[in-house]
Amino acid sequence: MDIDESIRKECERRRFSVRTTETYQKCVYNFFKSCLKEPRRVTKKDIKEFLENLSEKCSGGTVHVYLNAIKFFFEDCLHRNMQINIKYCRRPQRLPFVLSREEVFKLIDSIKNSKYKLRVSLMYGAGLRVSELINLKIKDLNTEKNFGFVRAGKGNKDRIFIIPESLKDKIEKLIAEENLQREDYLFLTNKREKYSVRSLQVIVKRAAKLAGLDCKEIHCHTLRHSFATHLIEQGQTVSEVQALLGHKSPETTFIYIHTATPNMIKVKSPLDFLSL
């Protein structure tokens, strides 16, 4: 059987992203490269042994992805009732690295090219993933009412996002100057091609260096983490932040409560009530 094609068809039927499809194909390919059995002859023990060997070389997160991919192939593509319910390798919960408001200002202010500055400003100001930013089209924007739509974001979901008031005129000016039409991407290269993720990553890294910030810790996604944290700091509820980020579960959003600055925690230590 054509394993890659089987995975592709099932992922397409479920409207998984291209990236998820390719990841699943790669994981399953590596499994069979190691297992050397026909799919119908693979046992639960084979899968468990493969994952145990993998865990000695890879992180828990990687093993978790492999488990999901292999489970998807056997249970959803082959319809084998293998009951692969191995409790395996929960990812350690780490707080994301975030910038303070002052650091975000320094980073954006260090960008002198106006178009580059607009891209990075909108990525932070709307809490967009870098892939969501470069895929924005003119038809997705309503600058008059200060909002836009992310189309087919992570998990193939649509969601609304806010357009910062301070960027409204700059976006409208860009659209007019470049004569952009409804089906055009908002951000284009000089050759009028869609901007690349890599180019934006380079811009953010360079800006962080010019601003004197820790470049090793700062990526495009750092701006999204900072956006969420700053919303919590200014009093937005978890459910409001969850909706703007497009998180499926509120538990994913709760992590930003822990990255908010200490003055956001309105709890006094019991020690402060003691007369020592």
> Where in the sequence numbering do the catalytic residues fall?
129, 154, 221, 224, 247, 256
The values of phi and psi at residue 29, to 5°, are: -60, -45
**Cα separation of 38 and 36, whole Å?**
7
Contact 111, 204 (CB under 8 A): no
**Cα separation of 180 and 161, whole Å?**
21
- Any bridge partners for residue 149, and if so which? 160
The structure tokens listed for 269 are 């230590």
Contact 86, 56 (CB under 8 A): no
**Cα separation of 51 and 74, whole Å?**
15
Kindly give the pairing relationship between strand 141-142 and strand 159-162.
unpaired
Within 10 Å of residue 252's Cβ, how many Cβ atoms?
13
- Any bridge partners for residue 142, and if so which? 147
The values of phi and psi at residue 137, to 5°, are: -115, 160
